Amino acid sequence: MEHTSKQKHPGYLTYVFVWLALLAFTSITVTVAGVSLGKYTLFIALAIAAIKSALVINIFMHIKFEEKIFKVFLALSGMTLLIIFVLTFFDFLFR
């Protein structure tokens, strides 16, 4: 990789493009919410929120340009949250 302790960060334009993408996804999620898609509505809303999060975390929060250990930590905390959700719903649904 090209970086050690000094990060290579994107220029102004990259941030503006990411912001435009975030606004586009916001308008999609608002529009989709108005259309009746039954049980898929929640799934689509969460999928779009996940894509927006990925953009914010990778570019705005510079995770894409960080050292590998940051990504490992992020994955670990994400998995922890996922496991808590899955285990809770296992308990809740099969009680």
Partner 1 sequence: MSSHDEAAAVHHVHRDDVGARMGMWLFLFTEVLLFGGMFLVYAVYRYQNPDQFRAAALELNTGIGTLNTIILLTSSLTMALSIAAIQKGNRFLSVVMLDVTLLFALLFMVNKYFEWSTKFAHGIYPGSKELLGRPNGQILFYGLYYVMTGLHALHIIIGVVIILFMLVQVMKKKITSDNHVKLENAGLYWHLVDLIWIFLFPLFYLIQ
Q: CA torsion sign, 52 to 57 to 62 to 68?
A: negative
Q: With contact defined as beta carbons under 8 Å apart, do 48 and 28 qualify?
A: yes
Q: Which residue has the tokens 């296992």?
A: 90
If one asks whether residue 88 binds partner 1 (CB under 8 A), the answer comes out as yes
Q: Measured from the CB of residue 74, what is the shortest distance to partner 1 in angstroms? A: 7
5-24 positions binding partner 1, by CB under 8 A: 5-6, 9-12, 15-16, 18-19, 22-23
If one asks whether residue 43 binds partner 1 (CB under 8 A), the answer comes out as no
Cα separation, 27 vs 42, in Å, equals: 16
Find the binder of partner 1 among 40, 75, 81, 90 (CB under 8 A): 81
Q: Return the closest-CA partner of residue 51 out of 71, 68, 69, 26.
A: 26
* Number of residues near partner 1 (by CB under 8 A): 46
Q: Return the closest-CA partner of residue 78 out of 50, 55, 43, 59.
A: 50
Residues of this chain that bind partner 1 (CB under 8 A): 4-6, 9-12, 15-16, 18-19, 22-23, 26, 29-30, 33-34, 36, 41, 45-46, 48-49, 52-53, 56-57, 59-62, 66-67, 69-70, 73-74, 77, 80-81, 84-85, 88-89, 92
